Structure 1
Amino acid sequence: MAQNGSTLPAAIVSRMDSYPENKRRPVNKTLFNNEYFQLTLNMRNESLVISSRGDLVYSAIPYDTARNYIQRAAVQTLLHPDATHAYIEGHKPNLETYLALSIFQVTGKKVGKDSAEVQAAYQQIFKDPLFEMQILGRMLQHDETGPLSANLAGKFLYSENLKTGISGYLSEYVNFVVQLTHALPIFTDGKQVQLLSENDGEARFLAENKHLLLNKNSDLSEALMWLPAPVRSNLEVAISEQATAAALRPLLRSEMQESLTATRKNYVAHSRRPEELEQYFENVLTIENSNLVNVISDCHVLDGKLPFRNLNFNILVGDVSDSKVSDALIRGIYILGNHELSDILPETDQLNQPQWQPFLKYEWFKCLVDNPDEAWPLLPVGNHPFYQVVEAEIATRFPKVVVLHNESIIHEGIRYIGLTIPVALVLRRKEVQGFIYTTLVELLNQDTEIPTVIVSHAPLFNELSLLPPESGSYQKDYVCSDERIKALFKQYNIIGAIHGHHHIPASSSRFKRTEFAGKSLFVVCSIYSKINTGFELIPLITE
C-alpha cells in the first residue's frame, strides 16, 4: 500500500503541514479532524488510525468491547444497507434469544421467543438505522467471539439503548469517515485505514474489494435514502466537501464524567464465558468453505467434529481439537499446537501403556496430564520424541492430512515447512531460535529458488507475528536475535509465514505485509470463528 513506500503522497504532506500541533509531535501526526474524530499518521510505521477525540464517549455501558465491530458494521451498512437487513434477518433465532434475556433483565418477566414482547422488540431494530448498525455489529461480534452475556438490555432493546449514547457516537462516526474519504485519498472498512496509491496492484486491490471499502467513489445513494434525515443531511454536506454540524447529540465526557465514573465504579460484572452459552444459540451461518488454500487455526473443537467443511487444501495451524476430533475427508497439512499435546492423552488409568512410559519422569508431562495450563512454559523444544507420538496419533485421525512435525511438503509449486513451536517460549528464546535455524537449514535443503512458506502454531518471533504490541500477550523480548535466521531468509525464497495461537480476531486483520531480513513477507493468522472458517492464501502466494 502507499503508506509502506518511502515517500508520502503530496496530499498527505500538505495536510500534515496544515496542523500546527504536528511541529511538536514527532510520531503521531494529525492529518484530518473535526470536532469529535481525528485521523493520525504514525511516522514510525506509517500506519493510519481513526480515533475519537478526548471528549466523545462511545458508550455508557461499562466495558463495552464492540466498538470496532459496530464501526465496521456502520461502514458496511453505508455501502450495503440491504445486506445489513439480510444479515440481521438471518440471525433472527439468536436475536430472539437475546431479546428475551434482555426483557427479563429489565422487567424480571420471563417471555418466550415467540411472545409479543420479543417480536415487537425485534421489529424495532429495523425502525432506526443507527440502532440497526449496532445490532449488526453485535451479531458480528457474536459470530466471531461467541455469545454475549453482559448488559444485554442496553445492547439489544431500543428503549434501553437510547440511554447508552452509541447512536450519537455512530452519527458522528459515519459523518467523519465520509468527510475523510472525500478530503483525502483514503479507504477504510471501519477498522483498517489505507492510503490510495496509483500503482496497478493498489488499483486492482481496490477494484476487487470495493464492496467492502469506503472511499470517495463509493455509491452511498441507497444509504442516503434510508438514513434518518439529520444524518442524511450531514452526509450530503460532507460529500459536497463543506463543513458540517452534528446530527445527533453524542455523550461528552466533560458533561458526563461524574456519572460515567460512578457507573463504572458501581458496576457488578455478570458476564459469562461464551462457551458456556453456545448451547442456547444456533449457528445460522454456513460451514462450507471453498478456499483453494484454506488457512485456519484455533478451532478448539469441543464436540468431536470439525466446525467447517473445505474439500480443497487446508493448512491447519494447531489447536484444532479439545475433543479428539477426527475427519476422514479433509485434506492438507496439520501443524501441532499446544492443545494437541493434551488432546491426544488417554484416560489417566491408561498412562501405563508402553508409548507413555518414557515421559512419565518429566515434570512437564505430569503437568500436561494434571493441569495443561501449567505445562505450556515447560514444554520441550522442537524435536522431543513426545511430539512424534502426538504426530502419529493426529495422523490416524486425519488420514488425508500430512502432519508436518519439523517437515516440509510441496503443494502446487509452493513448499510449506511446518515447525513444531506449540507456544512462545520467551525465556528460552535462544534455545528455540537455535532449533529454528538448525531445522530450517535441513528442510530448506539448499533449494534457494522454490517459493517457501513457514508455518508454526506460535509465531516464530515478533517480526513475523500479527500480535499487536498493545496486546496483553505481547512479549517485547520475543524478537529474532539469531542473525543466522535472518541470513537464511535473505538467501532463500521465503515468501511468508503463518501462525496461530494468539486468538487474534478476524476483524483485527488476518494478514499483513512486513519487512524482515531486507525483504517483504506476508504474515497470516486466521483464527476460526463462525464468520471466519478460513483465509484464502492464494492471492498472497501468487502476488
Structure 2
Amino acid sequence: MKTNKIKSSLIVAKKLIPFIATKTEDELSSELVARFELYPENTRRPVNKILFRNDYFQLTYSMKKKDLVISSRGDIVYSAIPYDTARNYIQRATIQYLLHPEEVREYIKMHKGNLEKYIMLSIFQATKKRVDKNSFEVKQAYNAIFQNPLFEIQILGRLLQHDETGPISANLAGKFLFSENVNTGISEYIFEYHNFVVQLTKSLPITTDGKSVKLLETNLLKRSLANNRNKDKFLTYKSDIKPALSLVPQAEKVNTENPIIIAKQSLNLNDKPILRSRSGKEISEVRKNYIPHSVHPKESEKYFENVLSTENTNLLNVVSDVHTIDGNLPFINRNFNILVGDISDSRATNGDIKGIYVIGNHELVDVLPDNNNIDELQGKKWSLFWNSKWFKQLLENPDESWHMLPVGNHRFYEVVKVELEKRFPQLNVLHNNHIVHEGIRYIGLTIPVALVKRKDEQQKFILKSLKELLNNDYDIPTIIVSHAPLFNELSMLSIKSKAYNKDYNLSEPKIEKLFKEYNIIGAIHGHHHIPASSGQSKIVKFASKELFVVCSIYSKMNTGFELMNLINPKLTN
C-alpha cells in the first residue's frame, strides 16, 4: 500500500539529522562533507556529491557551484507525452498542493472557463468530435479534475505554465482528460517526487519550492522566509502537510493489462512508474518520429481569458520585455518600477507609472515616426542618422540591424531618451546616468543588445561610464541596470541556452576591479526572454564577493519581481 510508504517516509531517522536549527553557514558546510561518507560512491564523484536519496530521486551538492539540486536518479520517466515541457511547473504544483490544498482547488476553479476550452480541444484531438462547453463530456471531464489529487496537481502545473508562458496547444488530451492522462505515467512520477520531498524535508533542514533547494539555516533564506510572500511557497520540516497527505490516494493498484499509450503506440509495462530501463528504447523511437502540432501562444491567446490580477504591490518592481502591442502597459504597480527595456511595440504611453527605465533594442524602433513618415524622418531630429548604414537597416528590417547598432554612448540614444520621456513623464530614463532612490544608487547603462563581435569596444564604454557614474562614492549601495546583460558573468542566461555565447565573457579586468572597490550589490538585465520558471534571480560570486543578478521577464502571471527581497539582506550585511 502506498499510504504505508508515505507514512514510513515521515519517520525521521536520527542519524540523518546531524543539524537542525541554528548552525552558521561555515559549520553547515563541514557537516555536509560528513554526510558524503554515507554514500561510498561519492569517492568517485569529484563534483556532484549525494546527500540524500531514495529509489527514484536524489539530492546532490555541487562542489563547483556550491548549490543543491533535486534530480531524478535517471530511471524514472516524467512523462510519456513527447516533449512535455511542464515538469518544473508540475513539481512546483506538487509543493503548493502539499502546503495549500484548498487554495490550489480555488486557483483551478478560477480558471474554469479556460479549462473548458482546453477540454473541448482535448476531446477534439482525441476523438475528432466537436463539443461545446455545456456538453456532458466537458462537464464530466472538468469534474474529473477534482476526483484525483495527483491529476489535480497536474492541472495546477499546466495552469501555472499557461499563466506564465501563454496557452498550451500540443498533446492536450493527455494533459487535460483524465481518461487519457492515466496512460502517461505523470501521476506515478508526481507520487514518487512527492514522496521524496516529504522524506527529504523531514530528514534534513532543507526548503524547496519545487525548483530551488536551499539549506534552511542560511541567513539570506531566513530573511526571505520571514517575508510572508515567500514563506507560503516553500516546503520545510515545519510545514503542516497533514491535510494534503490525507487527500492522496490510499492505494494505486497497478493494472498490468492496461498498457501505457504513447501516440497510439503501446508499451507493455509490468509496473509503474515508467522506467527507462524497461521502456526507454520505445519512448525514444516515439519521440524521434513525433511531428509537433502545437500552435504559437500568440496565435491562441485571444481565445483564453486572463483571470489573474494585473496589479501587484511590489515596492521595487522589476519588469522587462513586456512588448505590449495595444499602446498600454498590461500591468499596474503604484510604487517604484524598474523597467529594463523592450517595454513597448505599440508606442505605449503612461502618465502614472513611476521609477526608472533603460533603453532596449525595441525602443529604438518604437520611437521612430509612425509608418516611417519620410517628412518627419528627414527633419532635424532624425536627419543626423539618415546616412548611417545601421539606421537604414533599422528602418528597413530591424531584426537584421541589431548587431550593427552603435555602442551606447552614441547621440542617437539621446533622441530615443527624449522621446521615451514624453510618453512616460514620471519615469527617469537612465541613459548612462544614475539616480538615488531610498538610499540605493541605480546606474542605468544603454546596452540594447549583446554586441559579441564588438565586445572590446562595448566593455571600454562600460568601464568609462561606470568610472564617471560611480564618481568616487565608494559606500553607497549600487545596482547596475541594462537591457542586455553586461557580460556572461552577470547574466541569468543559462550556458545551455542556444542564445548563450561564451565569447561574451568579461575581458576587461578594470571593470572587475571597479566591482571590487565599490559597493555594487547587484545587476539587473532583460533581453533574453528567460522564462520566469527558470528563476528570476540568482546569487553569483564575482569580484571576490556575492552579487545578485535579476532578469524578470513580463508574463500574465509574473507582473514583476520584488527586488526588495534581495536588497534587504545585502543592506543588513
CA distance in 2, matches of 1:210, 1:228: 27
CA distance in 2, matches of 1:396, 1:205: 38
On the 8 A contact 1:188/1:213 being kept in 2, the answer is: yes
Which string of whole-angstrom CA distances, capped at 9 and with x for unpartnered residues, describes residues 280-320 of structure 1?
11110001111111111111111111110011111100011
Look up the SS of the partner of 1:194 in the other structure: strand
Residue type at the aligned position of 2:431: H
Q: 1:205 aligns with which of 224, 227, 231?
A: 224
Aligned equivalent of 1:510? 536
Deviates more, 1:179-188 or 1:219-228: 179-188
Offset, 1:359: 2.0
Look up the SS of the partner of 2:51 in the other structure: strand
Residue type at the aligned position of 1:408: H
Residue type at the aligned position of 1:531: M
Residue type at the aligned position of 2:542: F
Aligned equivalent of 2:299? 276
CA distance in 1, matches of 2:509, 2:385: 34
What are the equivalent positions in structure 2 for 1:100-111 lying under 5 Å apart? 100-111=120-131
On the 8 A contact 2:352/2:426 being kept in 1, the answer is: yes
Look up the SS of the partner of 1:454 in the other structure: strand
Q: 2:412 aligns with which of 359, 371, 386?
A: 386
Aligned equivalent of 1:214? 235
Offset, 1:119: 1.6
Deviates more, 1:206-215 or 1:528-537: 206-215
Q: 1:432 aligns with which of 435, 441, 458?
A: 458
Residue type at the aligned position of 1:117: E
CA distance in 1, matches of 2:361, 2:442: 20
Residue type at the aligned position of 1:329: D
Please state if 1:540 is matched with 2:566: yes
Deviates more, 1:344-353 or 1:260-269: 344-353
Aligned equivalent of 2:552? 526
CA distance in 1, matches of 2:219, 2:457: 44
Deviates more, 1:335-344 or 1:476-485: 476-485
Which string of whole-angstrom CA distances, capped at 9 and with x for unpartnered residues, describes residues 451-482 of structure 1?
21110011111221122222222222222221
What are the equivalent positions in structure 2 for 1:16-95 lying under 5 Å apart? 16-95=36-115
TM-score (norm 2): 0.88
TM-score (norm 1): 0.93
Q: 1:254 aligns with which of 264, 277, 291?
A: 277
What are the equivalent positions in structure 2 for 1:217-296 lying under 5 Å apart? 217-230=238-251, 249-296=272-319
Which string of whole-angstrom CA distances, capped at 9 and with x for unpartnered residues, describes residues 84-130 of structure 1?
10110111111111111111111112112222221211111111101
Are residues 299 and 259 of structure 1, via their aligned partners in 2, closer, same or farther at CA, if it must alter by over 3 Å?
same
CA distance in 1, matches of 2:33, 2:519: 36
Q: CA RMSD in A?
A: 1.9
Residue type at the aligned position of 1:203: K
Aligned equivalent of 2:322? 299
Aligned equivalent of 1:483? 509
Deviates more, 1:499-508 or 1:152-161: 499-508
Offset, 1:542: 2.8
Aligned equivalent of 1:240? none
Which string of whole-angstrom CA distances, capped at 9 and with x for unpartnered residues, describes residues 135-164 of structure 1?
101110111111111111111111111111
Please state if 1:466 is matched with 2:492: yes
What are the equivalent positions in structure 2 for 1:256-405 lying under 5 Å apart? 256-346=279-369, 347-350=371-374, 351-405=377-431
Look up the SS of the partner of 1:359 in the other structure: coil
Offset, 1:396: 1.0
Aligned equivalent of 2:3? none
On the 8 A contact 1:28/1:43 being kept in 2, the answer is: yes
CA distance in 1, matches of 2:406, 2:281: 52
Residue type at the aligned position of 2:141: A
Deviates more, 1:355-364 or 1:103-112: 355-364
Aligned equivalent of 1:243? none
Aligned equivalent of 1:241? none
Offset, 1:12: 2.2
Q: 1:143 aligns with which of 163, 173, 176?
A: 163
What are the equivalent positions in structure 2 for 1:402-413 lying under 5 Å apart? 402-413=428-439
Look up the SS of the partner of 1:415 in the other structure: strand
CA distance in 1, matches of 2:316, 2:232: 23
Residue type at the aligned position of 2:289: N
CA distance in 2, matches of 1:205, 1:302: 35
On the 8 A contact 1:417/1:453 being kept in 2, the answer is: yes
CA distance in 1, matches of 2:171, 2:324: 28
Are residues 152 and 202 of structure 1, via their aligned partners in 2, closer, same or farther at CA, if it must alter by over 3 Å?
closer
Give the gaps of 5 or more residues in structure 2. 1-21, 253-270
Offset, 1:7: 5.8
Are residues 532 and 3 of structure 1, via their aligned partners in 2, closer, same or farther at CA, if it must alter by over 3 Å?
farther
Aligned equivalent of 2:13? none
On the 8 A contact 2:311/2:331 being kept in 1, the answer is: yes
Deviates more, 1:443-452 or 1:75-84: 443-452
Offset, 1:3: 12
Are residues 5 and 514 of structure 1, via their aligned partners in 2, closer, same or farther at CA, if it must alter by over 3 Å?
farther
Are residues 210 and 11 of structure 1, via their aligned partners in 2, closer, same or farther at CA, if it must alter by over 3 Å?
farther
Q: 1:190 aligns with which of 180, 195, 210?
A: 210
Offset, 1:205: 3.1
On the 8 A contact 1:11/1:184 being kept in 2, the answer is: no
CA distance in 1, matches of 2:132, 2:327: 31
CA distance in 2, matches of 1:115, 1:392: 56
Aligned equivalent of 2:151? 131
Are residues 494 and 216 of structure 1, via their aligned partners in 2, closer, same or farther at CA, if it must alter by over 3 Å?
same
On the 8 A contact 1:3/1:194 being kept in 2, the answer is: no
Q: 2:447 aligns with which of 418, 421, 424?
A: 421
Please state if 1:158 is matched with 2:178: yes
On the 8 A contact 1:3/1:46 being kept in 2, the answer is: no
Are residues 201 and 63 of structure 1, via their aligned partners in 2, closer, same or farther at CA, if it must alter by over 3 Å?
closer
Are residues 359 and 146 of structure 1, via their aligned partners in 2, closer, same or farther at CA, if it must alter by over 3 Å?
same
On the 8 A contact 1:4/1:46 being kept in 2, the answer is: no
Offset, 1:356: 2.4
Q: 1:500 aligns with which of 515, 526, 533?
A: 526
